[in-house]
Structure 1
């Protein structure tokens, strides 16, 4: 009898909760004209609609309810944006209302909270760091100064592949090593190939931090479980940040000691040197802390390496499955570069088809499938009310597959980006809302220029120097399944067998 009474009480409470939520939601809708919305469940709202790959789940929701959809994740209001027109409204027309990013517990902790530039709220510190990125840290002058580093690592990468000819190669691992070496040398004057070295340890720790930062934390959506750490993230977050902190403190102190010993104009400064100059400058508009520096370096390594490597790996997978595209790209490179030298960064503007391959890859496989913002005040988009503190998801992945924009959107056709003059009016810098690979507006990716040096040059070099075989007879295809992760990795790592086709002195 007691058990029956307990179940009866639970049933009454459940029904009362449903009625209360419906009442509140209906009352809210009367006051506000919210976008269309699926049926919400008590307590969890629309969390039941999510899957391992949120961008795909969001695509299915938007396909049914339209380009602007209102959702409740627990108690958190959210809006899905899935068309270029709506994305333009959020990222340009009403940009000042959507310049902040929502806090996520895991990511906030490992990036030192408000010390992190990427997640910092729009304000004096964010503007200072953005200007610093564009003029000093990732500006054209610094990128040009670090060109020899990229060129050297590019040659070492190709030579490494040359030593593995006719052997099955893990393309993802090779590309990650290249991207990591470039970033760690530019940022810290260290390579990450030595397993015992600090560079390698740093990469491993940042990889773990990135994985944890991308995990879904129930406490962000359901306030009443926030203090319980049901998923056990607490100890792991403390451990990984503590290890990262120890490595970075050692590297920073080594840099400080070296700076005191060398002359002011001795050699090209790395990014940590530039940050330490500002850290020591008492007249600087914004005084950087050591946490600011550590957070910036972590973002450089975490975002800068994984995204570039993933994009090139996806491009190679598409080329293996589309040999006619590979052949046309190779013909373009051969006609410009010949077979007596390697592709260089300066060649890329004269390789429009290679550029179109990059654009088509980023359309289908954007390494940032979701642009996430949070409204700072009430806003009206296309006649619908967006309340303050609403999290907005711009589904870049869905926009890239919109059949109203792209003809046969699931086909890999780089030609779609070439006009009669052999060029494309669409760029990747956020001016075209059909192609938001690096975001748009003030909060677009500050590392876009660096990525657009590394990605096409590396891909062109791989096409130029090697034939690529898959399977026993070399004519196999690869699956195109996506895996979970912040940078939209492949579900299964790409393995190919390289066969040398260009014998240059650089590859001997």
Structure 2
């Protein structure tokens, strides 16, 4: 009997061993991956990326050698870098559904409220419903138009503050900081109905969190290692910033609830309609949405709107002024246009913007030369597919290097120069159909806030050019103005833009 048992156990062990050997010996299907730089054990391609602080610049240099569709391995994480309009079209149009998920690593997961928001949420019904609410109640053309009075009020207030500074001995101002405050005030009023009294703390926490997302955190590179997840401090630092922002957003929600109870929320918004936060709270109370709007979801959605709406718009407006100061000919042309259109008015309104064709070219050129999100928002391959004859395995992270595409001499003359005139006789637009110029992305995951973001920029830029002349601090030549970019998801100007405003046409009430 014992001999039979031993025989059965021996056969069982032999079968297990043979099964393991078979799995090891059977060749796994080999993917025809796009080319890429040589890799090292464990770290993969990381040694190629430490050559610079701005990853999108390093990726462009690598792509110039290895091709517009390039494979990298970031620790354990397989990655695809797209650096041409043709490859971008295949990813964001031909295979849009396949690449419609977001890549969310350990740091980004903390930053984006564990994917409960809109920007980083996985593709699916929940994401569609949240995006639909945001578009209908805040970002549609009609809603953007309804916020016109807010934009005009905030732009006038911004000009008054600048004029007061210019009158105090023409002192230099930190225009970058003032732009950030203006955009944030405008967007919060459009969303909530009033300025945020916690603005300084919120902007500080947001800026710190964005800087933490700029690097290659170890936890992001080795997601399977529990030890690494515990030891890496980057996600914890982001969590501390997120907790600060969450407390502020929860307070904004509570303030709005109290205002709604008093019946004053719509009036405070200055539009005669309830603000975005009020809409979310009403929908939550009515339980009328296909997906539940709990407090955590509302906080996450508001975080998206505040972060994306304020950070990218202030970055673009800052780059507009930076490049105009660096290019006196373009500055003179833009100022001549706005001053001829407004004809001595003390206040600029949105109706006055309709004929400002050159101003719109300036914004387009700033978006081209300084794409707000250089690598857009990283996508993830949902299932193995073929792109331009190469295999892209499921789970691959996809970076579309729009910064590189927008500076590629194959598609742009003098691509490193600021030339708004390049768009004069061109049909190129940033709405997602011209794949050599996609500062806001394309396809299902295109940024839904284009109208609101550009609307907040246009009036402010026209006002800055109309009311003031701008002088650099003594000893600084226009071409010496720093144009280096801060590291991070958003390529903001690394150093503040310091200028002397000289009042040319005094704004109202000054």
* Per-residue deviation, residues 151-188 of structure 1 (Å, max 9, x unmatched): 11100101111111111111110100001101121222
> Match of 2:207, SS?
helix
C-alpha distance in 1, partners of 2:478/2:414?
Answer: 24
Query: How much has 1:231 moved relative to structure 2?
Result: 3.8
Instruction: Sort the Cα spacing of 1:474 and 1:238 in 2 relative to 1 into closer, same or farther, 3 A.
Output: closer
1:415 aligns with 2:421: yes
Contact 1:203–1:301 (8 Å) recurs in 2 = no
What residue number does 1:174 align with? Answer: 178
1:41 aligns with 2:40: yes
Query: How is 1:273-284 mapped onto 2 (pairs within 5 angstroms)?
Result: 273-284=278-289
C-alpha distance in 2, partners of 1:264/1:174?
Answer: 27
Contact 1:339–1:503 (8 Å) recurs in 2 = no
Contact 1:117–1:292 (8 Å) recurs in 2 = no
C-alpha distance in 1, partners of 2:489/2:266?
Answer: 39
Query: How much has 1:387 moved relative to structure 2?
Result: 0.9
What residue number does 1:398 align with? Answer: 404
C-alpha distance in 1, partners of 2:336/2:471?
Answer: 18
Contact 1:91–1:440 (8 Å) recurs in 2 = yes
C-alpha distance in 2, partners of 1:132/1:173?
Answer: 31
The partner residue of 2:195 within 187, 191, 194 is: 191
Contact 1:214–1:486 (8 Å) recurs in 2 = yes
What residue number does 2:205 align with? Answer: 205
Which stretch shifts more, 254-263 or 492-501?
254-263
> Match of 1:95, SS?
coil
What residue number does 1:479 align with? Answer: 482
Instruction: Sort the Cα spacing of 1:407 and 1:296 in 2 relative to 1 into closer, same or farther, 3 A.
Output: same
C-alpha distance in 2, partners of 1:437/1:507?
Answer: 37
What residue number does 2:363 align with? Answer: 358
What residue number does 2:79 align with? Answer: 78
> Match of 1:71, SS?
strand
C-alpha distance in 1, partners of 2:285/2:368?
Answer: 43
Which stretch shifts more, 450-459 or 392-401?
450-459
C-alpha distance in 1, partners of 2:382/2:171?
Answer: 54
Query: How much has 1:59 moved relative to structure 2?
Result: 0.4
Instruction: Sort the Cα spacing of 1:475 and 1:207 in 2 relative to 1 into closer, same or farther, 3 A.
Output: closer
C-alpha distance in 2, partners of 1:492/1:73?
Answer: 29
What residue number does 1:374 align with? Answer: 380
Query: How much has 1:353 moved relative to structure 2?
Result: 0.9
C-alpha distance in 1, partners of 2:191/2:83?
Answer: 36
> Match of 1:207, SS?
helix
C-alpha RMSD over aligned residues: 2.1
C-alpha distance in 2, partners of 1:387/1:231?
Answer: 28
Query: How much has 1:66 moved relative to structure 2?
Result: 1.2
Contact 1:110–1:237 (8 Å) recurs in 2 = yes
C-alpha distance in 2, partners of 1:279/1:198?
Answer: 25
C-alpha distance in 1, partners of 2:355/2:247?
Answer: 45
Q: Any gaps of 5 or more consecutive residues in structure 2?
A: 1-23
Query: How much has 1:475 moved relative to structure 2?
Result: 5.4
Contact 1:207–1:302 (8 Å) recurs in 2 = no
> Match of 2:102, SS?
coil
Query: How is 1:6-21 mapped onto 2 (pairs within 5 angstroms)?
Result: none
> Match of 1:370, SS?
coil
What residue number does 2:137 align with? Answer: 136
Q: Any gaps of 5 or more consecutive residues in structure 1?
A: 1-23
C-alpha distance in 1, partners of 2:411/2:354?
Answer: 26
Query: How much has 1:474 moved relative to structure 2?
Result: 7.4
> Match of 2:165, SS?
coil
What residue number does 1:426 align with? Answer: 428
Contact 2:219–2:232 (8 Å) recurs in 1 = no
Larger Rg: 2
1:460 aligns with 2:462: yes
C-alpha distance in 1, partners of 2:219/2:393?
Answer: 22
Contact 2:152–2:459 (8 Å) recurs in 1 = no
C-alpha distance in 2, partners of 1:214/1:59?
Answer: 17
Query: How much has 1:264 moved relative to structure 2?
Result: 9.4
Query: How much has 1:263 moved relative to structure 2?
Result: 7.8
C-alpha distance in 1, partners of 2:346/2:490?
Answer: 33
C-alpha distance in 2, partners of 1:446/1:264?
Answer: 25
Q: TM-score, normalised by structure 2?
A: 0.88
> Match of 1:482, SS?
coil
Query: How is 1:144-183 mapped onto 2 (pairs within 5 angstroms)?
Result: 144-165=145-166, 166-183=170-187
C-alpha distance in 1, partners of 2:509/2:498?
Answer: 21
Contact 2:211–2:487 (8 Å) recurs in 1 = no
